[in-house]
Amino acid sequence: MVNIEFNGTKMQVEKGSTILEAANKIGVHIPTLCHLNLEGFGIVNQVASCRVCVVEVEGRPTLVPSCAEKVYEGMVIHSDSFRAMNGRRMAVKLLLSNHPKDCLSCPKNLECELQALAQELGIREIPWEGERLDYEKDNSSFSLVKDPNKCVMCRRCETMCNEVQTCNILSAVNRGFESFVGPAFNMDMADSSCTFCGQCVAVCPTAALTEVDNTRHVWNALANPEKHVVVQIAPAVRVAIGEMFDMAPGSITTGKIATALRRMGFDGVFDTDFSADLTIMEEATELIHRIQHNGTLPMLTSCCPAWVKFFEHQFPDLLDIPSTCKSPQIMFGAIAKTYYAEKKNLDPQNITVVSIMPCLAKKAESKRPELTKDENSNVDIVITTREFGRMMKSAGIDFPNLEDSDFDKLMGESTGASVIFGTTGGVIEAATRTAYEWITGEELENVDFVQLRGLEGIREATVTIGDMDLHIGIAHGLGNARKLLDEIRAGKSKFHAIEIMACPGGCIGGGGQPYHHGDMNIIRERQKAIYEEDKGKKRRKSHENEEIIKLYEEFLGEPYGQKAHDLLHTHYEA
């Protein structure tokens, strides 16, 4: 411990802390911009580039950045002096002097951290009109938009992409005033090896990186009387969307979502959880098949599209490792435009499938050539949780006070196994529940495989199923995934099955979720809510979903059979 004096109060703080950490511990607020503590990964973006957190230290000629400066014995700090406050205001004014001031129509309006800082620091005028950057926006991808003119060089996206995700797409382009963060040579994002995980978007403080906004396409479809518009909602959305309406993180809002979607005018209100149960039918069968027929092991889950892009780009020699199952979002599109169309006597051409996903990569996934070549089995429009929240706001929907309702029949039933898809560890737990009963022929009484749960970046567990010990690995965050993949490549993997999700926490931490600013407590609350929803379900194993049983009886035939192969499985390309 060291003795310091902070804003006139003497105290002891841990040796090695930064001034900012000391301030946080004693409840003194110092504003920050570039600083980002990715607590769950033990990674801190500490570039000290924005100078928004400067404080005065007695005996020092200049103000010092509190995020990078460590405390020492006898240090006397003032974060509330005129000089310190003025220094912070100056830093923000300088950032604003060359920032585009189109706040009213900016995609980050009211969610921008620079705008919030200007408000917090009471900035009412920007005395200088600085030179502006004038770069083209990068609209090349289906997932994200890059606007270099709004980049404040905080480097948060770079840390996320390079250190957490190990994708190494982003770095400083150009020098000095001309600089911004982008891919090498400022190539189009679509031409880079970007996975579209959207984690850079999740941590960008301004609108330099945002999601592609598809909301107008949804409104247009809803306004088109020729179209029968069905919607699916992903597992993780239901435990996060409430945050956009000041509900506590982890509020479970499944019933309110169904009501809101009906009010917005959707003709069919359905659940991706339904097709997550369907995925388990196929994936558990595939796993058992691979185990019993000396197939390629380990088998890796394939429902996370950023993860799929990652292994296609970075591990092209391992394309036979992932399951061939399409993701639940894409399986939903395939069933909506075939089985549902048949049952409802609709022309698939007139059905528009909308997905509400916590994820930016789901937008790109829905446009993959092999998943769109048959227009009668695809997803048409993908929006994120955030876009959905904004749509409800513009429609004047009082979300927190909506009554609950159920999803529609045919593709609306789900089990607890599908709900847990939304968190890291959930997909493999769901598959294990089904594989256990199918392999042993016995009823699984305790469905809670708690050893597979948690938020550790890499987890492993052994589950005994009959006379077999099933070795399971789990990774979330692509940097963690890379470690397991390197082991497989080196022939050292001990696992039979591995679940990988690209985003920290799994889909609950997706790049399209309400901004959580790296706060792992929010992720924890969302995760708790997922397991709570699972616990409350009448059925908790995918193969007990009665609508899924009927779907196989009436339409698909056997799991992993020919029709299922044609509609529900895919392939990967390097």
Does position 31 bind ligand HC1 by CB under 6 A? no
The answer to whether 370 is a known catalytic residue is yes
Q: Dig out the tokens for 310 from the structure.
A: 């990652």
Alpha helices in 324-423 (DSSP H): 328-335, 341-344, 361-365, 369-372, 385-394, 416-419
HSE-up of residue 223 (Cα within 13 Å, Cβ side): 6
Does position 386 bind ligand HC1 by CB under 6 A? no
Does position 362 bind ligand HC1 by CB under 6 A? yes
Residue placing its CB nearer to ligand SF4 in the complex, 165 or 527: 165
How many H-runs (helices) and E-runs (strands) does the chain carry?
A: 20, 19
Binding part of the chain for ligand HC1, among 109-117, 143-151, 180-188, 354-362 by CB under 6 A, reads 354-362
Residue placing its CB nearer to ligand HC1 in the complex, 260 or 303: 303
Three-state DSSP at 485 gives helix
Residue placing its CB nearer to ligand HC1 in the complex, 181 or 410: 410
Does position 197 bind ligand SF4 by CB under 6 A? yes
CA–CA separation, 61 vs 281, rounded Å?
67
> Which one of the listed residues 66, 192, 323, 542 is annotated catalytic?
323
Binding part of the chain for ligand HC1, among 59-67, 356-364, 470-478, 515-523 by CB under 6 A, reads 356-364
Work out the angle at residue 170's Cα, subtended by the Cα atoms of residues 355 and 363, and round it to the nearest 5 degrees: 10
Extract the runs of DSSP E, i.e. beta strands, from 70-131: 75-78
Residue placing its CB nearer to ligand SF4 in the complex, 98 or 168: 168
Rounded to a whole number of angstroms, the minimum distance from the CB of residue 537 to ligand HC1 is 15
CA–CA separation, 512 vs 530, rounded Å?
17
What are the angstrom distances between the C-alpha of 480 and each of 179, 492, 503? 30, 16, 10
Does position 480 bind ligand SF4 by CB under 6 A? no
Judged by CB under 6 A, the chain residues 418 through 437 that form the site for ligand HC1 are: 421-422
Work out the angle at residue 370's Cα, subtended by the Cα atoms of residues 369 and 373, and round it to the nearest 5 degrees: 75
The answer to whether 362 is a known catalytic residue is yes
Does position 358 bind ligand HC1 by CB under 6 A? yes
Does position 357 bind ligand HC1 by CB under 6 A? yes
The answer to whether 286 is a known catalytic residue is yes
The answer to whether 67 is a known catalytic residue is no
Rounded to a whole number of angstroms, the minimum distance from the CB of residue 195 to ligand SF4 is 4
> Which one of the listed residues 111, 286, 387, 533 is annotated catalytic?
286
CA–CA separation, 148 vs 134, rounded Å?
8
Rounded to a whole number of angstroms, the minimum distance from the CB of residue 570 to ligand SF4 is 21
Rounded to a whole number of angstroms, the minimum distance from the CB of residue 511 to ligand SF4 is 7
Pick from ligand SF4, ligand HC1, none: which does 457 bind, CB < 5 to 8 A by kind? none
Rounded to a whole number of angstroms, the minimum distance from the CB of residue 271 to ligand HC1 is 9
Of the candidate residues 45, 141, 149, 272, the single one contacting ligand HC1 (CB under 6 A) = 272
Pick from ligand HC1, ligand SF4, none: which does 169 bind, CB < 5 to 8 A by kind? ligand SF4
Q: Residue with the closest Cβ to ligand HC1?
A: 507
Sheet strand arrangement including 64-65:
9-13, 2-6, 75-78, 54-57, 64-65
Binding to ligand HC1 by CB under 6 A, coded x per residue (else -) over 329-348, reads x-------------------
> Which one of the listed residues 56, 111, 365, 533 is annotated catalytic?
365
Q: Residue 298, preceding bond cis, omega within 30 degrees?
A: yes
CA–CA separation, 227 vs 286, rounded Å?
36
Residue placing its CB nearer to ligand HC1 in the complex, 337 or 362: 362
Q: Dig out the tokens for 538 from the structure.
A: 């009448």
Does position 145 bind ligand SF4 by CB under 6 A? no
Asked if residues 504 and 164 have their Cβ atoms less than 8 Å apart, the reply is yes
Of the candidate residues 40, 107, 198, 333, the single one contacting ligand SF4 (CB under 6 A) = 198
Contacts of 369 (CB under 8 A, 6+ apart): none
Of the candidate residues 31, 87, 107, 235, the single one contacting ligand HC1 (CB under 6 A) = 235
Binding part of the chain for ligand SF4, among 163-171, 232-240, 326-334, 533-541 by CB under 6 A, reads 163-171
Rounded to a whole number of angstroms, the minimum distance from the CB of residue 308 to ligand HC1 is 10
Q: Name residue, tokens 């799994």.
A: 506
- The radius of gyration of the chain's CA atoms, rounded to the nearest angstrom, is 25
Rounded to a whole number of angstroms, the minimum distance from the CB of residue 145 to ligand SF4 is 12
Of the candidate residues 114, 151, 161, 379, the single one contacting ligand SF4 (CB under 6 A) = 161
CB atoms within 10 A of CB 248: 10
Asked if residues 390 and 233 have their Cβ atoms less than 8 Å apart, the reply is no
Residue placing its CB nearer to ligand HC1 in the complex, 50 or 356: 356
Pick from ligand HC1, ligand SF4, none: which does 359 bind, CB < 5 to 8 A by kind? ligand HC1
Does position 194 bind ligand SF4 by CB under 6 A? yes
The answer to whether 10 is a known catalytic residue is no
> Which one of the listed residues 56, 111, 283, 437 is annotated catalytic?
283
H or E element that contains 282: helix 272-292
What per-residue string of b and e applies to 7-26 under the rule 16 or more CB within 10 Å gives b? beeeeebeeebbbbbbbeee
What per-residue string of b and e applies to 408-441 under the rule 16 or more CB within 10 Å gives b? bebbbbbbbbbbbbbbbbbbbbbbbbbbbbbbee
Asked if residues 130 and 97 have their Cβ atoms less than 8 Å apart, the reply is yes
Does position 169 bind ligand SF4 by CB under 6 A? yes
Binding site for ligand SF4 (CB under 6 A): 160-161, 165, 167, 169-170, 194-200
Q: By the criterion CB under 6 A, which residues form the site for ligand HC1?
A: 234-236, 272, 276, 303-304, 327-329, 357-359, 362, 421-422, 506-507, 510
User: What residues are labeled active site?
Assistant: 283, 286, 303, 323, 362, 365, 370, 507
